């Protein structure tokens, strides 16, 4: 049986890698992929391995934790990589080593396998991981949509009505030269007869419409995607209106916890003068309290936005400046707080 092997960082996984995989799979019976540990990227090893498992379920993906830092030239580096790979592949008989880089020669020799080079000059896909990391937006044509989605920071604004969610999403999209996703409810209601009362199917339709818009807009997003509301608000509205929520609405609200990277809650102090009556104000405060309680019950960290629109934009920009999509932003924030006020007082 012919067994191929591909080694790489895949940071991120792009069409050049896929061309290499497709070539290997057309020539061998089994394909093994070794994903190297790599500290010089924000993409965790599990994420990079996950891309390959999702797009190539027929491949055997091996996570190379503790791998050598360099795949570069020099016999010392070559020996370190050979030893690491041979130890990980005990039980696998590799007959063909696939690569598009110079390390193909020494690694195939160590494995006792055929040295199979593919598109060394990158004529088919003139792209590298470094080029994509430097400018993901202008390199997105070389990425599967599911991979590009993981490069985008999804920012969602929640809160009761008239708290500035739409204004913030639109303004920040202009600021960062990207796109934003409007709340789907308004457009949906415009298609309904006057006085139409939303039912369970309507809430399901709202969810599906909004999620489809998010996935579509994300492919045009430049680093950030700003979203006006999400399934959590639809879930709360459904409970308020019907006393229940469908399985689709409930599961979508639950999945919101990992669908978005940052949650901002717009405080109700903003635009209170636009409310029509005291009853409107009381209703909005109740909705706001329910939103806070829902986020807390789901253990979703969120940042409260107060003050004017300008002040709220400034707060969001400050958070984005220190945020790394695949890093521990809130853990780092707590650490900074302990440094400022002293761990014994925190």
The answer to whether residues 231 and 204 touch, using CB atoms and an 8 Å cutoff, is no
**In this structure, what are the phi and psi dihedrals at residue 133, rounded to the nearest 5 degrees?**
-60, -35
Predicted local confidence at residue 276, as pLDDT = 54
Q: Which among 158, 301, 182, 306 has a CA at the least distance from the CA of 235?
A: 158
Please give the average pLDDT of every successive group of 10 residues along the chain, which has 346 residues: 96 97 98 91 93 98 90 82 94 94 88 96 93 95 97 96 93 98 76 74 94 96 97 95 96 97 91 53 89 96 94 96 84 57 38
Residue count of the chain, please give it: 346
Domain residues of the chain, as ranges?
3-139, 152-328
Predicted local confidence at residue 181, as pLDDT = 97
| 317's tokens | 């920009």
Predicted local confidence at residue 346, as pLDDT = 31
Among 3.40.50.300, 1.25.40.80, 3.30.930.10, 3.50.50.60, name the CATH number for the domain at 152-328.
3.40.50.300
Can you tell me the distance from the alpha carbon of 317 to that of 249, in angstroms, rounded to the nearest whole number? 31
Tell me whether the CATH fold assigned to 3-139 matches the one assigned to 152-328.
yes
Which fold is adopted by the domain 3-139? Rossmann fold (3.40.50)
The per-residue DSSP string of 187-201 comes to HHHHTSPTTPPP-HH
What is the b/e burial string over 245-274, where b = at least 16 CB atoms within 10 angstroms of the residue's CB? bbebbbebbeebeebbbbbbbbebebeeee
Can you tell me the distance from the alpha carbon of 227 to that of 165, in angstroms, rounded to the nearest whole number? 9
| 222's tokens | 């430049």
Burial label for 341, CB within 10 Å (0-12, 13-18, 19+), is exposed
């Amino acid at each position: 049986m012919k067994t191929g092997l591909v080694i790489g960082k895949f940071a991120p996984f792009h069409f050049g890698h896929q061309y290499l995989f497709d070539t290997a799979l057309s020539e061998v019976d089994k394909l093994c992929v070794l994903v190297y540990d790599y500290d010089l990227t924000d993409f965790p090893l599990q994420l990079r391995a996950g891309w390959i498992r999702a797009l190539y379920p027929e491949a055997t993906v091996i996570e190379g934790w503790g791998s050598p830092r360099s795949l570069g030239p020099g016999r010392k580096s070559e020996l370190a990589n050979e030893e690491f790979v041979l130890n990980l592949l005990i039980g696998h008989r590799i007959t063909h080593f696939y690569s598009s880089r110079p390390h193909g020669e020494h690694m195939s020799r160590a494995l006792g396998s055929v040295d199979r080079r593919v598109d060394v000059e990158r004529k088919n896909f003139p792209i590298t991981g470094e080029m994509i990391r430097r400018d993901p937006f202008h390199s997105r044509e070389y990425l599967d949509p599911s991979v590009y989605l993981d490069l985008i920071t999804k920012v969602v604004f929640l809160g009761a009505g008239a708290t500035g969610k739409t204004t913030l999403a639109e303004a920040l999209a202009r600021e960062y030269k990207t796109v934003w996703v409007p709340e789907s409810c308004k457009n949906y209601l415009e298609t309904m007869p006057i006085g139409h009362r939303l039912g369970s199917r309507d809430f399901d339709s709202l969810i599906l419409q909004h999620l489809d818009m998010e996935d579509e807009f994300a492919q045009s997003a430049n680093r950030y995607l700003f979203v006006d509301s999400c399934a959590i608000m639809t879930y709360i509205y459904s409970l308020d209106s019907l006393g229940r929520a469908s399985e689709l609405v409930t599961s979508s609200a639950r999945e919101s916890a990992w669908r978005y990277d940052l949650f901002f809650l717009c405080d109700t102090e903003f635009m209170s003068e636009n409310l029509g009556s005291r009853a409107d104000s009381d209703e909005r405060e109740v909705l706001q309290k329910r939103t806070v309680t829902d986020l807390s019950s789901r253990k979703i960290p969120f940042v409260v936005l107060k003050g004017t629109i300008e002040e709220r934009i400034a707060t969001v920009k400050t958070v984005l400046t220190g945020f790394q999509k695949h890093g521990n932003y809130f853990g780092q924030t707590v650490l900074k707080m302990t440094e400022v006020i002293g761990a014994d007082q925190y």
